[in-house]
Amino acid sequence: MKTVKKVDGRSEKARQTRARILDAAGELFVRDGYGATALQDIADEAGCAVQTIYYSFGNKQTVLKELVDRTIAGDDEPVATMDRPWFRQAMEAATAAEHLRLHVSGTRAVLERVAPIMKVLEAAAAADPGIAALWPNQEDPRLIVQTAAAASLLGKPGARTDLTVERAADILFGLLSPELYLLLVTGRHWSPADWETWSRQTLETQLCKRRDFDATRY
């Protein structure tokens, strides 16, 4: 007789409660600021007891960290960026130009989610030295991702042959950074679509052979 695995109702309820808490925290942190938002405010917005937040997260710093991590990923699934469908699709592209098109498009989706919370994180870190300790000193995860993308891209038809993986990764790391996205989209009021087109054009001139793309088509 086939055994049917039962869904753990308590685990699912706890997951939903955590999601509500993070949703509430994100809305309040962006609207009112990290410093001005108390755990009781988050509890009221999420419709739960403040003790539930202490039990699930421990403190407000951890709420912020998990909010940032979830925002970058796009969901609460334990799937690394390099295993995400958008990243894998770009890695499997046949040419360097197509790889860039898919990679920039996927990065735009991440940055559109992340941009508001990055401003919160910057302000929170300035006011609370303990925030920086939530991410121990280690190689920047973004650089690891961009290095993998660069190594794959440089091995494809249409890529420049005079670049090292390290230099290509640095170019991707800098041009696709949250800081530059915020500067242009928030600071200079570019649309995300304008940012995507400009980033793709700029990266093609930096990473692809000139004959393999035509800048006039944009």
**204-214: per-residue pLDDT in tens?**
999 999 865 55
pLDDT score at 213: 52
pLDDT at 5 over 50: no
Global pTM value: 0.78
Encoding tokens for residue 59? 């403190």
* DSSP string across 171-200: HHHHHT-HHHHIIIIIIS---HHHHHHHHH
| Average pLDDT of the residues in 168-183 | 95
pLDDT score at 2: 45
* Residue among 217, 208, 181, 211 at smallest CA distance from 100: 208
pLDDT score at 149: 98
Helices (H) and strands (E) in the chain, counts: 10, 0
Better-predicted residue by pLDDT, 151 or 4: 151
Better-predicted residue by pLDDT, 171 or 214: 171
* Position 28, amino acid: L
**132-147 b/e with 16+ CB inside 10 Å = b?**
eebeeeeeeebebbbb
Confidence band, pLDDT 50/70/90 cuts, at residue 216: very low
pLDDT score at 8: 62
Q: ∠ CA(130), CA(133), CA(135), 5° rounding?
A: 135
Give the chain's radius of gyration (CA, Å).
20
| d(C-alpha 113, C-alpha 116), whole Å | 7
| d(C-alpha 43, C-alpha 45), whole Å | 5
pLDDT at 117 over 70: yes
* Residue among 118, 128, 103, 98 at smallest CA distance from 36: 128
| Average pLDDT of the residues in 77-89 | 88
Confidence band, pLDDT 50/70/90 cuts, at residue 114: confident
Residues whose CB is less than 8 angstroms from the CB of residue 35 and which lie 6 or more positions away in sequence, other chains included: 123, 124, 127, 128
| Average pLDDT of the residues in 24-37 | 93
| d(C-alpha 51, C-alpha 28), whole Å | 18
Work out the widest C-alpha separation in the chain, in whole angstroms: 65
Tokens 């041009």 sit on residue = 175
pLDDT score at 139: 64
pLDDT score at 205: 96
* Residue among 218, 65, 191, 204 at smallest CA distance from 133: 65
| d(C-alpha 35, C-alpha 60), whole Å | 10
